[in-house]
Amino acid sequence: MAHALHTLNENEHKDYKVSLDRQFNHAAEQHLIPIMTDEIFDAALEFPLVVVKNSETGAFTLCAIQGLKPETNLYCGREQYDAIYVPRALRLYPFALRENAQTQQLEICIIDDPARVGVESGEALFDAEGNKSQFLEQQIKLLKSHTEMAGQTMQLMNLLEHYELLHAQAINIKTGSEEISFDGIYVINQQKLNTLAPDVLVKLRDNGALALIYAIQQSLKQINRLIVRTHG
């Protein structure tokens, strides 16, 4: 991730092309992948979903575990991405949104990763007239929904915190001779969930949070898939 971020500009990036990478090699050394609320039901069927703190701001963030150790990923950077659901955060790459410090407007940026971005081959960003290509339009749509959902996800995290529905849990896994322990992870506090006041339960049901909370809680079972993959 040491690649520079550039604001996309039809003059400067007129000839740029982005090659597709269905192995998502850029995330090969990332074991936690951010997940947004609208992805929870899909992601929960394949990956354990946990809450961690953003190391920069301390804010709670929802993530899918894709590797049992830091700097490993059991899906990305492998021969084949072996799951049905691909988190949107993986699909966005090499694009990102960034707030312009002066105008406070969100700007579309491209990550200068030579493995994916160049002038030789791949999907063109602009056509001969300098209009955005269909590919780029699609990516922009993806970025926009991601940003929208980021707000919703933060609200969900705030709810979890407000009703004290999170608690820290170290996850200890024995795989063969190796013992792996994860800390800094927060999961749903089942006991608190079971003793929520009726009016709070109704509120969480009506705003859709309750189903998401149960899905996050259930997803922990997917840890077994990762264990199996470590051995495989």
Partner 1 sequence: MCSAASSQQRIVIVGGGTAGWLTANHLARALDEKFAASTAKPYSITLIESPNIPTVGVGEGTVPSIRDSLHYFGISESELIKRCSATFKQSIDFIGWQPPQSDGAQHVYQHIFDYPQIESEEALCDWINHGFKAANFADTFSVQSHLVQAGLAPKKFIQAEFHGVCNYAYHFDAAKFSELLAENATQRLGVDYQQLEIAKGVKNNAGGIAYLLTENGQRIEAELFIDCSGGRSLLLGQCLETEFISKADEIFTDTAIATQVAYSSIKKTIACATLATAHRAGWIWDIGLVERRGVGIVYSSQHMTEADARETLAHYIGLEDQNNLLTEPRKIPMRSGHYAQFWRNNCVAIGMSQGFVEPLEATGLLMFDKTAQLLAQMLSEADSTSLTLSLSSGQLQRRFNQQLCSVWEGVFDFIKLHYCLSQRDDSDFWRAHRDMNTWSPQLIQMLTKWHTQLPSQIDLRPGVFNLANHLYVLLGMDVRPLLNTNVDNSDGQLSGQQRSIMQAHLASLNKVLMPHRELIEKVHEYGLQRI
Interacting residues toward partner 1 by CB under 8 A: 53, 55, 57-60, 161, 164, 166-168, 184, 186
Name the residue nearer to partner 1 (CB basis): 55 or 102.
Answer: 55
CB of 169 to partner 1, least distance (A): 11
Shortest CB 57 distance to partner 1, Å: 5
HSE, CB side, 13 Å, CA atoms: give it for residue 101: 0
Q: Work out how close the CB of 168 gets to partner 1 at its nearest, in angstroms, rounded to a whole number.
A: 6
Q: How far apart are CA 195 and CA 177, in angstroms?
A: 39
CB of 55 to partner 1, least distance (A): 6
Q: Tell me how far apart the alpha carbons of residues 216 and 43 are, in angstroms, rounded to a whole number.
A: 9
SS3 for the chain is CCCCEEECCCCCCCCCEECCCCCCHHHCCCCEEECCHHHHHHHHCCCCEEEEECCCCCCEEEEEECCCCCCCCCCCCCCCCCCCCCCHHHHHCCEEEEECCCCCCEEEEEECCCCCEECCCCEECECCCCCECHHHHHHHHHHHHHHHHHHHHHHHHHHHHHCCCEEECCEEEEECCEEEEECCEEEECHHHHHCCCHHHHHHHHHCCHHHHHHHHHHHHHHHHHHHHHHHC
Task: Rank residues 4 and 101 by Cβ distance to partner 1 and give the closer one.
Answer: 101
Of residues 137 and 164, the one with the C-beta less far from partner 1: 164
H or E element that contains 218: helix 209-219
Q: How far is the CB of 180 from partner 1 (least distance, A)?
A: 17
Shortest distance (Å) from residue 165 CB to partner 1: 10
Residue 29 or 112: the one with the smaller Cβ distance to partner 1 is: 29
- Minimum CB–partner distance for residue 76 and partner 1 (Å): 24
